[in-house]
Chains A and B, each alone.
Chain A
């Protein structure tokens, strides 16, 4: 009776042993990187605390895919030599058992390298907690993602080893298996989104999005082709998809390994059919580019016919060249001719598919009745400001107002019609007939920004009964204002707007200072704002949210879905008076030495060596305040020195915020002297400011 054992521990251990040398070399390299990164950071940037994600902590771990590729080629290299193939195939194991035991030993080495070096990296970053704040979930997700990508690389390489007989062919085929499917998908989706500018390349549809295949994604990311790294740290779907794909590939590799004939060793391919498959695959890489050009020509008036002919000439040349290089026989060129028919058929099929996808997306113009809900989307993760955080948080808020649905349906239809009307290379310009359209991501949702732009371009998620689609729609600003109003009045959004996420430890800064406050008192200021905000009227809060302009604000960093977000929260005396008081109590207590230094500099000529900025906030008796940026010079400084007092600022006090940096104007010198201070202004009125200081020096004034 046949012994169907699928795994043998002795063989597995043997695989581990055989990988010892390359495994230890890679282990040492990765370990050096894991130790060097935090140490270098500590030495280079000893003064600041950084939030570190997995990528920041252990960037070399991205190279685990290359390790997987090399280890798999190394261990399964026995398939490429007759004597080694004979030896292993003569062993008393089934081929599945040899494959699975050896494959497991490759995965074990990958796991050991990833786990050990990541743990060391994590441990060292944690030890230097005075310099780094480690986001555990991000570290874990990053390590898992790198492992998943490496497992996929190992599976792809194992397939290549099973279907080729030489190392060089194994490498070529492995690279093709790893990257060709995604290359084709990326080319097609890129072309379609280029032709249909209302489509969002980052929201093209689940599996079509590059981020889901972590192996190709990490390569493209490291080459700077994509910039979605934060997304994959946030989205476990990419990890799950990659692991599932690697398991499917490993299963395929196992089947092919079982089917492989030992005599394939030393031959470029197991048989003529596989040789043809490789040849056609390589040729199709070029054909895909040509097919994109054909789609260009067929959908728009384009003059790329010569390029198409030239492209196909190159494709045919590569087709025969591949055959000649790999088989080194001229007579095989003739034998390869019939399979060109397959290339032609594949070209036809792929073109039809591309055209079908193009037409389907072009004709997606649902009516308001067909739309169930709409959500505004950010195409990239926000980095700064509370407002951008709100935008990010609004991406899953479903707007179901009839007016909103009508506006979206109407404008999408108009956009599509505008595109259809112009079949030329300038289609994108036509679509953006509103070429001055402002991007939603760059305008404020709580200000009157819309009024300054004729059109706003925003990515919206349109949910219909048949599924959700993402479209970049150009709206007249008046229409878009209605959508924004609907968002702002949404109860869920309002709830979120009044809920501040917790800061990451030791990241709170006050005003425009870069100094991170680590003490408990600083956190108490934040808690005061968080608590007070919870009971504020959302409409009033949102209408008064002017995050960029108030010198009285705290900034901090938070981590949402493993993404680091900087949030800046204004502290308004009329809405959050207790926080306002606490803020100035804190800055008064902690900023004494800075204020003394500022006063001494202003009193001497020394301040001219510095870059000085100042901003005055004048409280009005009616509860509003005026904010003025001023220029400090020989004329204004004596007047200000007469009027500022070094006292704690109260809710009704006017104050001046002064910031002094060493160095020329607008040049920031890292580590150079930098002082900030809030000073109470006594007995000053708006008129005083206007008459005595600002006449020529006023840079900006705004009333709130």
Chain B
């Protein structure tokens, strides 16, 4: 289990992360979402033991990560800017990984290389951007670490390959009960992959929750009554947003969907539709509820 407590990281005068506390349970795929400069990469580097926090700490199963090889042995970090030795082929990089990560699995490496159809003897610098990301993913998965950190690794892949890579990663995580932390500036990239999601904004952790809870805990209702009404009619419901156009109101409600719908039906509405929310909408409304005016794609 990865745990951060009051984690703060500064770069000169800039506070990149401020008082971040979160818990990433074993066996889950944890998504970190946020706009550019939100602090996603910084958090990942802190978890990987690359950066030393100014305040707070990062622990894995209770042990600090920074300068702790025993813990770092269990973590593989795939940075947003990939690193390959100059002129190296995948096989050469595999040698490097094998020298560094004692659990590096050559058999798995060969399987994945052939699965992705990459030539392991070809210099990586001749690969396309997407192929390089595939190569980095293969190497990271072959390291057989307990924790794999992907920093916007899938963002450069075409949709087909992205889904394929995600599938491989998910299978690998499930098979080994490993843990993955994936960052992206786009929530759409993460919503179908992650078990847990966290939103970072300007160095702060705004929200973290189980994806299933997020999706079911918030829903949109379109309702109309024959008589005049306003928001007070729905007193007792946890309303995040209430917009009324004419007789029709669009309401975002948090709570038990079945019970809420039953209550609404009892009010004898002229129209009652329950509309599904995308994860992106859920995030947007949750953030607005917290007082943030924020567009996830911005």
- Report how many residues on chain B are interfacial, defined by Cβ distance under 8 Å: 28
What are 8 A-B residue pairs whose CB atoms fall within 8 Å in the complex? A2-B69, A18-B85, A82-B81, A86-B48, A86-B81, A94-B69, A95-B67, A261-B52
On whether the beta carbons of B81 and A10 are closer than 8 Å, the reply is no
A466 to B43, CA, bound (A): 62
A-B complex: 6 closest residue pairs judged by Cβ atoms: A83-B81, A92-B72, A10-B99, A92-B73, A87-B83, A90-B77
B35-72 Cβ-contact flags toward A at 8 Å (1 or 0) = 00000000001001111100000000000000111111
Across the interface, A3 reaches (CB within 8 A) one of B50, B70, B76, B83, namely B70
Q: How far is the CB of A273 from chain B (nearest CB, A)?
A: 12
- Report how many residues on chain A are interfacial, defined by Cβ distance under 8 Å: 28
The residue among B11, B52, B79, B83 with the most chain A CB atoms within 10 A of its own CB is B83
On whether the beta carbons of B96 and A14 are closer than 8 Å, the reply is yes
A91 to B70, CA, bound (A): 11
A592 within 8 A of B: no
Residue in chain B with minimal CB distance to A88: B83
Residue in chain B with minimal CB distance to A18: B85
On whether the beta carbons of A91 and B100 are closer than 8 Å, the reply is yes
Which chain B positions have C-beta within 8 A of A93?
69, 72, 100
On whether the beta carbons of A11 and B77 are closer than 8 Å, the reply is no
Which residues does A use to contact B, with CB under 8 Å? 1-3, 5, 10-11, 13-14, 17-18, 82-87, 89-95, 97, 261-263, 271
Q: How far is the CB of A96 from chain B (nearest CB, A)?
A: 9
If A2-B67, A2-B70 touch, whether A261 touches B99 (CB-CB below 8 Å) is no
If A2-B69, A91-B72 touch, whether A13 touches B101 (CB-CB below 8 Å) is no
On whether the beta carbons of B67 and A262 are closer than 8 Å, the reply is no
A95 to B96, CA, bound (A): 17
Which residues does B use to contact A, with CB under 8 Å? 11-12, 45, 48-52, 67-73, 75-77, 79, 81-83, 85, 95-96, 99-101
Q: How far is the CB of B51 from chain A (nearest CB, A)?
A: 6
A85 to B81, CA, bound (A): 11
If A10-B100, A14-B99 touch, whether A86 touches B70 (CB-CB below 8 Å) is no
Which chain B positions have C-beta within 8 A of A86?
45, 48, 50, 77, 79, 81, 83
On whether the beta carbons of B83 and A97 are closer than 8 Å, the reply is no
On whether the beta carbons of B101 and A92 are closer than 8 Å, the reply is yes
Q: How far is the CB of A442 from chain B (nearest CB, A)?
A: 59
A343 to B67, CA, bound (A): 37
Which chain A positions have C-beta within 8 A of B67?
2, 94-95
Q: How far is the CB of B137 from chain A (nearest CB, A)?
A: 15
A87 to B83, CA, bound (A): 7
Across the interface, B68 reaches (CB within 8 A) one of A2, A11, A14, namely A2
Which chain B positions have C-beta within 8 A of A85?
50
A95 to B49, CA, bound (A): 11
Across the interface, A11 reaches (CB within 8 A) one of B49, B81, B83, B100, namely B100
On whether the beta carbons of A262 and B100 are closer than 8 Å, the reply is no
Q: How far is the CB of B106 from chain A (nearest CB, A)?
A: 15
Which chain B positions have C-beta within 8 A of A5?
69
On whether the beta carbons of B99 and A11 are closer than 8 Å, the reply is yes
Residue in chain B with minimal CB distance to A91: B100
A261 to B100, CA, bound (A): 21
A5 to B82, CA, bound (A): 27
Which chain B positions have C-beta within 8 A of A271?
12
On whether the beta carbons of A90 and B73 are closer than 8 Å, the reply is no
The residue among A1, A85, A92 with the most chain B CB atoms within 10 A of its own CB is A92
Which chain A positions have C-beta within 8 A of B95?
17
If A11-B99, A263-B11, A263-B51 touch, whether A83 touches B79 (CB-CB below 8 Å) is yes
Which chain A positions have C-beta within 8 A of B79?
82-83, 86-87, 90
If A83-B79, A83-B81 touch, whether A89 touches B100 (CB-CB below 8 Å) is no
Q: How far is the CB of A642 from chain B (nearest CB, A)?
A: 85
On whether the beta carbons of A90 and B68 are closer than 8 Å, the reply is no
If A86-B79, A87-B83, A90-B77 touch, whether A3 touches B68 (CB-CB below 8 Å) is yes
Apart from A2-B70, A90-B72, list 8 A-B contacts with CB within 8 A: A83-B82, A86-B48, A89-B50, A92-B101, A93-B72, A94-B69, A95-B67, A263-B11
Which chain A positions have C-beta within 8 A of B52?
261
Which chain B positions have C-beta within 8 A of A94?
67, 69
A13 to B79, CA, bound (A): 24
Residue in chain A with minimal CB distance to B97: A91
The residue among A1, A2, A271 with the most chain B CB atoms within 10 A of its own CB is A2
A5 to B79, CA, bound (A): 26
Q: How far is the CB of B278 from chain A (nearest CB, A)?
A: 33
On whether the beta carbons of A90 and B75 are closer than 8 Å, the reply is yes
The residue among B67, B68, B72, B79 with the most chain A CB atoms within 10 A of its own CB is B67
Residue in chain B with minimal CB distance to A78: B83
On whether the beta carbons of A90 and B50 are closer than 8 Å, the reply is yes
Which chain A positions have C-beta within 8 A of B69?
2-3, 5, 92-94, 97
Which chain B positions have C-beta within 8 A of A1?
70
A261 to B51, CA, bound (A): 7
A92 to B71, CA, bound (A): 8
A116 to B75, CA, bound (A): 41
Which chain A positions have C-beta within 8 A of B50?
85-86, 89-90, 262
A86 to B136, CA, bound (A): 14
Q: How far is the CB of B133 from chain A (nearest CB, A)?
A: 13
Residue in chain A with minimal CB distance to B52: A261
A276 to B295, CA, bound (A): 42
The residue among B75, B81, B96, B100 with the most chain A CB atoms within 10 A of its own CB is B100
A11 to B102, CA, bound (A): 12
A86 to B50, CA, bound (A): 6
Q: How far is the CB of B224 from chain A (nearest CB, A)?
A: 55
On whether the beta carbons of B48 and A90 are closer than 8 Å, the reply is yes
Residue in chain B with minimal CB distance to A17: B95
